[in-house]
Structure formats: structure tokens, C-alpha cells
Amino acid sequence: MIDFNVPPSTGKETIYMQQAIDNRKICGDGMFTKKCQAWMNEKFNVPATYLTTSGTSALEMAALLCDLKPGDEVILPSYTFCSTADAFVQRGATLVFVDIRPDTMNIDENKIEAAITEKTKVIVTVDYAGVACEIDTILALAKKYDLKVVEDAAQGFGATYKGRPLGTDCDFGCYSFHETKNLSMGEGGALVLPDLKYRDQAEIYREKGTDRSKFFRGQIDKYTWVDYGSSYLPSDLNAAYLWAQLEEYDAIYNDRMATWNYYDEALKPLAEAGRLIQPTIPKECGHNAHMYYIKLRDLEERTALIKHLREDGIYAVFHYIPLHSAPAGMKFGRFHGEDVYTTAESERLLRLPLYYKITNEDREKVVSSIYHFFGSQS
Ligand SMILES: *Cc1c(COP(=O)(O)O)cnc(C)c1O
């Protein structure tokens, strides 16, 4: 059987987790949390990064920092995971969904402006499959209308746009280290603050509404409850797991990239024959091999291929029923303009097994099963 995903592990995770135990510090903001944050600050050249308990909680912190009032509008794609929307719905915001581009499956930057109203406060971008949105166009719009930009870079850790790391160009960047992402800590994520002006408030929200972080930095002599907040800091045990992966960042990246490139080469003849569509990587984008997907003719063909692969012991999956067609999406938002691509493209997309250390033999089996499927058609 070939799984769709196997959580990454490098072999050092348990050693570092034992170290955290030996350090007598398994709660949040221990040594490994600090090491991970410092690694990200340096690698991505940002002043502050905070590990969180999930990508979802990083988005929740970003939504809190956007300081929304009930009725404020947030523009986002409908083709995304529900967490992108949840964080803002919790603040009382109304969701305004904008169509995606069929080539990258990202929000169509040219359809955003028409969706902006007096109530719009935030644009949320999603870097689908670790391929960046057209961020410069989006940042220019945000500037023109005085909007904040939250980048859901849950899938984009280590990917770039015009050489700039994803999650670092906006007001708030959010990563996920869920077990399905390139690097993992079981459940976890990170909030990136490209601008330190949000630092104090971010720390208050993350530490149950207290100014405890300032206290630990020695800026104040006692800490107190100053605002509302929550507990968004993960256990140092999880951070220890992540640290083992950050140390092997290049190996994980290269390994995933090799599989991505293998699929892309091997399936090219089918794309050239018009049987399937391969992912598009715009020239501005350096992707991170988060996902390899193909697009089939339609829903029916996708269903047949999933079944065919399953019979060969291969798990390939699709995801994201567009949010605007889900019960909560209908309750909390509206689709602006026409849904030209969101639904139609989402029904055609299929993700192939791709994880750290997938064997050559397994990925060859995936490709040959796909060829067999098309050979037995028509
Ligand atoms: C994975 C993911 C999330 C949520 O991350 P968690 O760590 O699972 O909470 C949010 N948005 C997108 C686009 C994702 O892929």
C-alpha cells in the first residue's frame, strides 16, 4: 500500500524530546521553541517569529491583530482549508470569496479590487501547494485601500516569490507544521511578524492576555493580565520534534523536490497528449514541492482514477470542497462575482502521494498506475 502522506521524521526527534525532558522544561517557550524561532528569523530574515499550536492558531493570532469589528469584510479565496476563514469568522467578520486562477489555484489578483467595499479590512492570501500568489499586485491594492494582508502560507514554508520567502511580505504570515506539511511537529504552526510594531500585542494574545513576554525580557518587573488572549504556545516537546526537522531542512526539501520533479517529468507525455494538466509554476515563484497535483477532465474522470489507484494500493486524495458551498461558508460569507474556476477546477484536481523518503519504487508505481489508467481508457 502506498500512503498519501507519511509524517516526516529524521531520526533525531526522540533524542531532542528527551533533552527537553532532561531540561525540565516541556511547557511553551523552552529552549527548542527559541531555537526554532531563531532559525526562522535568520533563514527568512524577519524580526520575529512565534511558534503556535497550529497553523489555525497562527491565523487566529493574525485575525486578532487585524483588530476587526463585527461586520468588517475579509476577502479570501473559496478554494482553501476552512481554517483560513474560521479565524476571521470568530472575530465577527463577513467573508467575501473571490474566484481563483486556474493555473495556480490561487486567488485571482485581478478580481480582488471589484470585491472591495467600505467595510473591507483584510485580504487573506493562500499560497496553494507552496506556490505564491501574485503578492506584489495584492500588496499594491492593500496600500491603495489601506487594507491589511494576512498570508496563509501554511503550505508555503521555504517557498519564495521573486526570491522573497513566503509569509514575510505581508502584515502577518502563517505557517503550519501539521503532519501533512513539509516539516512537522505533529500539530503546530508559526506566526511571522515582518514588522515589530505588532510584537507586544502579539505576545499578549499568545500568552493569555498577559505581558509575560515583556517580563521575561526584563522590560517590566512583574507581569499582569492586560487584555484578552489565549494560549497559542506549543509544548517544547513539539518544538523539539520540529527542531530535528529544521536541522535537516535541506535534505527534506531536496528529497521532496526530487519526487516532485520525477512526477513532473514522468507525466509530461500524458500532459502533451492532452490527457491531464500539470501544475503551473509562474516564473516569479520558487515552490517548495509541497504538493504534486494533476487535473483530470472532470469530476467523473477524477473519481474513476482515484478508484483505479486505490485498486493498485495507492492512496491519492483531493480536498477543499469550496468554502462558499459549505454550510458555514453560506452562513458567514458570500461569493463576489462569478464562480468561473473555483468549483470547476477543484473538482478536477487530484493530489499524488508525496512525502519525505517516499521510495523510487513507490513513486514509479504511482506513475505506472496512472499510465495504465489512461491506457485502459479511450
Ligand atoms: C494546513 C493548512 C491550514 C491549517 O493548519 P493546521 O496546522 O492544520 O491548523 C490552514 N490553511 C491552509 C491553506 C492549510 O493547508
What is the DSSP code (8-state) at residue 82? H
C-alpha closest to that of 193 among 92, 50, 39: 50
Ligand 1 geometric centre to CA of 193 (Å) = 18
Q: Which atom of ligand 1 is nearest to the CA of 128?
A: 13
Average pLDDT over residues 78-93: 97
Average pLDDT over residues 217-223: 88
Span 221-245, pLDDT tens digits: 889 999 999 999 999 999 999 999 9
**Which residue has the least CA distance to atom 2 on ligand 1?**
154
Percent of the chain predicted with pLDDT > 70: 99
Ligand 1 geometric centre to CA of 218 (Å) = 34
State if residue 55 touches ligand 1 by the CB under 6 angstroms criterion.
yes
pLDDT of residue 378: 46
Instruction: Give the pLDDT band of residue 315 (cuts 50, 70, 90).
Output: very high
Average pLDDT over residues 336-350: 97
State if residue 155 touches ligand 1 by the CB under 6 angstroms criterion.
yes
**Pair 184, 209: CB distance under 8 Å:** no
Separation of alpha carbons 95 and 91, rounded Å:
11
What is the DSSP code (8-state) at residue 32? H
Instruction: Give the pLDDT band of residue 319 (cuts 50, 70, 90).
Output: confident
pLDDT of residue 19: 97
State if residue 80 touches ligand 1 by the CB under 6 angstroms criterion.
yes
Span 272-302, pLDDT tens digits: 999 999 999 999 999 999 999 999 999 999 9
Residue 342: CA count within 13 A, CB half-sphere? 23
Average pLDDT over residues 15-36: 96
Whole-angstrom distance between the N-terminal and C-terminal Cα of the chain?
28
**Which residue has the least CA distance to atom 7 on ligand 1?**
55
**Which residue has the least CA distance to atom 5 on ligand 1?**
55
State if residue 33 touches ligand 1 by the CB under 6 angstroms criterion.
no
Q: Which atom of ligand 1 is nearest to the CA of 54?
A: 7
Percent of the chain predicted with pLDDT > 90: 95
Amino acid 152 reads: D
Instruction: Give the pLDDT band of residue 78 (cuts 50, 70, 90).
Output: very high
Helix (H) or strand (E) holding 31: helix 31-44
- 377 has a pLDDT exceeding 80: no
Average pLDDT over residues 27-34: 96
State if residue 152 touches ligand 1 by the CB under 6 angstroms criterion.
yes
State if residue 77 touches ligand 1 by the CB under 6 angstroms criterion.
no
List the grid coordinates of 43: 533563514
Separation of alpha carbons 125 and 76, rounded Å:
6
Helix (H) or strand (E) holding 172: strand 172-176
Separation of alpha carbons 39 and 190, rounded Å:
12
Ligand 1 geometric centre to CA of 360 (Å) = 28
Separation of alpha carbons 147 and 141, rounded Å:
8
Pocket test for ligand 1, best of 152, 293, 319 (most atoms within 8 A of CB): 152
Separation of alpha carbons 13 and 243, rounded Å:
8
pLDDT of residue 145: 98
Q: Which atom of ligand 1 is nearest to the CA of 188?
A: 7
Instruction: Give the pLDDT band of residue 187 (cuts 50, 70, 90).
Output: very high
**Pair 93, 121: CB distance under 8 Å:** yes
pLDDT of residue 217: 86
pLDDT of residue 135: 97
State if residue 176 touches ligand 1 by the CB under 6 angstroms criterion.
yes
Ligand 1 geometric centre to CA of 81 (Å) = 6
Average confidence score pLDDT of the chain = 97
Instruction: Give the pLDDT band of residue 258 (cuts 50, 70, 90).
Output: very high
Q: Which atom of ligand 1 is nearest to the CA of 181?
A: 1
Using DSSP, state whether 295 is helix, strand or coil.
strand
pLDDT of residue 216: 86
Using DSSP, state whether 230 is helix, strand or coil.
coil
State if residue 178 touches ligand 1 by the CB under 6 angstroms criterion.
yes
What are the beta bridge partners of residue 164?
161
State if residue 253 touches ligand 1 by the CB under 6 angstroms criterion.
no
State if residue 234 touches ligand 1 by the CB under 6 angstroms criterion.
no
Separation of alpha carbons 181 and 196, rounded Å:
27
Span 167-185, pLDDT tens digits: 999 999 999 999 999 999 9
Average pLDDT over residues 201-212: 95
pLDDT of residue 376: 65
Give the ranges where 236-298 is alpha helix by DSSP (H).
Answer: 236-247, 249-266, 268-272
pTM of the model: 0.97
- 367 has a pLDDT exceeding 80: yes
